[in-house]
Structure 1
Amino acid sequence: MVNKPGNNLSFRLTTVLGILLVFLVIALGVSFYFAISDAQLDSRKEFLSKQTELAARELELEILNFEEDVNGVFGFLDDDDLDLDDYRQDLTTVIRRVVNNYPGLIDTVWVSLPDSSIFFTMTERNDFIRQPFEGFIRSKFVENASVYRSNPISEMQLLIRLNLVRFTRLFVENYYLNEGGGKSLLIRDQVFDLNPSGQQDSVAFQNKDLVTIKNDIALGLKGMYELSWKSDKGSVSGVLVQYPFDFGTLLENASLLFFIETEQITSGIYNTYLWLFSVLLLLLLLTIVFFIVSLTNNIQSQKKLEKSSREISDLFGQQNLLLKELNGFVYYHNHLGEITQVSDEVEEILGSPRKEFLEAFSTSSQHKDALFLKSMVTNALSEKTSHIALEYDYVRPDHKKIRVKIFEKLIFDDQGRFNGGLGICTDITAQFESSQELKLSENRLRTVLENIPDVIFIYDNTGMVIDFHVKEVIPGWDKSSLGKNISVLLPPDQKDETIKAFELARKTGQIQTVSRRLNLESGTRYFEIRYFPLDENRMMSLAKDITSQKIWEKGLVEAMNAADEASRAKSEFLANMSHEIRTPMNGLLGIIDLLELTELDEDQKQYLEIIKNSGNSLLGIIKDILDYSKIEAGKMDINPFSGKPAEELEKQIQMFIGLAQKKNIQINTEIDPLAYELFETDYDRINQVILNLVGNAIKFTPIGGEVSIFMNLENIEDDLYYLKTRVEDSGIGIPEHLIPSLTNPFFQVESSSTRSFQGTGLGLAIAKRIVELLGGELSISSKEGVGSKFSFSILLKKAKVQVDDTAKNLQEKRVNWFGMANEYPMKMLLAEDNDLNLQLMNLMLEQLGYSFDIAKNGLEALEMVMKNDYDIVLMDVQMPIMNGLEATKKIRESCHKEGLFIIGLSANVFDEDQKKAIGSGMDDYLTKPIRLISLAKKIEFFYKKKIMIKQ
Structure 2
Amino acid sequence: MRMSNMNRLLQRQLKRAFGKDVDLASLPEEIQKLLKDIEASYENFEKEKRLLEHTIQVNSDELNEAYKIIEKHNQTLKEEVKTKSHILEQYKEAMDQSLLISKTDPSGRITYANDLFCEISGYSREELIGKPHSIVRHPDSDPVLFKKMWDTILAKKIWRGELKNRRKDGTSYYVNTTILPLINPQGEIEEFIALRQDITDRVIAEINLDRQRRYNQMLFEHQENIVITANEAEGVISANHNFFETFGFKDMEDFKSKYQCICDLFIEKEGYLPPSKDGVYWAEIILKNPKKQHKALMRNASGEERIFNVALREISFDNEPFVIASFTDITELEEARRRAEASEKAKAVFMANMSHEIRTPMNGIIGFTQLLQQSNLTVRQKRFVTLIEQSTKTLLGIVNDILDFSKIESGKLELDYVPTNPFIDLRDAIAIFYGKAREKSISLQITIDPNIGECLLMDHLRVTQILTNLINNAIKFTPENGVVAVDIISLGRTENKESVQFSVRDTGIGIPEDRLDKIFEPFTQADASTTRNFGGTGLGLSISASLCTLMGGKLQVESTVGKGSHFYFSLEFERCESNKILSEQIQNKPVYVIQSSNEMFISVLQQLNHFGVFYQIIPPQILDQMEKNHITFIFEAELYDQVKDLTSNIILIDNSEAAANIAKHDTNVFHISAYQECPSIIYNAMLTLNAIPETQKKGTKKSSQMNLKVLVAEDYDINRILIEEMLAKYSIVPDFALDGAEAVEMALREHYDLILMDINMPNMNGIDATKKLRELGITTPIVALTANALEGDAERFMAVGMDDYISKPIDWDKLNSVLTHYHKQLNEQAKADKDDNGSDESEGKEEIKTQNSKTNNKDSIDPTIEITVTSLLEAQSKLHFPLQVIEKLFRKFVDTSLESLAQMKAALESNDLQTIQERAHAIRGIALSLQLNEVSELCDILEYGAKDREAIDYRMLVNQLSDTLMALQNHCEAIIRQLHTHAS
**TM-score (norm. length: structure 1):** 0.32
| Structure in which a larger fraction of residues adopt strand | 1
Structure whose alpha-carbon radius of gyration is higher:
1
**TM-score (norm. length: structure 2):** 0.31
